[in-house]
């Protein structure tokens, strides 16, 4: 496994729409392993392909409930709303309030290509929505309704 370089917000690669993953091969496994290692090393809860310069529909998420690998993910159902503070490994030291669905059903494939469906809520749902936005070139700073001074988050 290896750490990959995290792309920062002014890079165009973060603004592109990602293509679906078509090959479920060894290279994909290595990418997923590297992405998880990079996310944990940066103390993040999610990381999407474009953030390591890979324009494919792929993301990893771990909000403390174990690692979730998402390949070609799609939200097929959402319910309710929640508003809370978000950050992003590509936007260091920026925080802002974002409204997200409170509950989602996400469909995707695992690293072997097998399809699955998951019902997620609260922070887990938020993290997955944030990562899926990355796959369409969207950042949380585009949709935050209020930015927060990091100093105000300390207490």
State in angstroms the smallest separation of the CB of 114 from Ni ion. Answer: 26
State in angstroms the smallest separation of the CB of 63 from Ni ion. Answer: 13
Q: Are 87 and 94 in contact (CB under 8 A)?
A: yes
Catalytic (active-site) positions = 131
Q: Alpha-carbon distance 85 to 144, whole Å? A: 9
Q: Are 70 and 128 in contact (CB under 8 A)?
A: yes
Minimum CB distance to Ni ion smaller for 17 or for 114? 17
State in angstroms the smallest separation of the CB of 11 from Ni ion. Answer: 13
Q: Are 77 and 101 in contact (CB under 8 A)?
A: no
The pair of structure tokens assigned to 111 is 């690293």
From the list 9-17, 59-67, 69-77, 82-90, the region that binds Ni ion by CB under 5 A is 82-90
Q: Which of 35, 58, 61, 88 binds Ni ion (CB under 5 A)?
A: 88
| Residues in contact with Ni ion by the rule CB under 5 A | 88
């Amino acid at each position: 496994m290896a750490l990959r370089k995290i792309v920062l917000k002014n890079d165009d690669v973060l603004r592109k729409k990602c293509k679906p993953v078509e090959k479920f091969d060894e290279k994909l496994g290595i990418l997923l392993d590297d992405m998880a290692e990079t996310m944990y090393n940066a103390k993040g809860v999610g990381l999407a392909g474009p953030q390591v310069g890979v324009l494919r529909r792929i993301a990893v998420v771990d909000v403390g409930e174990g690692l979730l690998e998402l390949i070609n993910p799609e939200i097929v159902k959402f319910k309710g709303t929640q508003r809370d503070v978000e950050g992003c490994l590509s936007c260091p030291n920026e925080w802002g309030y974002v409204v997200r669905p409170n509950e989602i059903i996400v469909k995707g494939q695992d690293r072997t290509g097998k399809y699955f469906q998951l019902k997620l809520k609260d922070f887990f749902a938020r993290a997955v929505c944030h990562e899926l936005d990355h796959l369409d070139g969207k950042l949380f700073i585009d949709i935050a309704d209020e930015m927060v001074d990091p100093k105000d988050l300390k207490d």
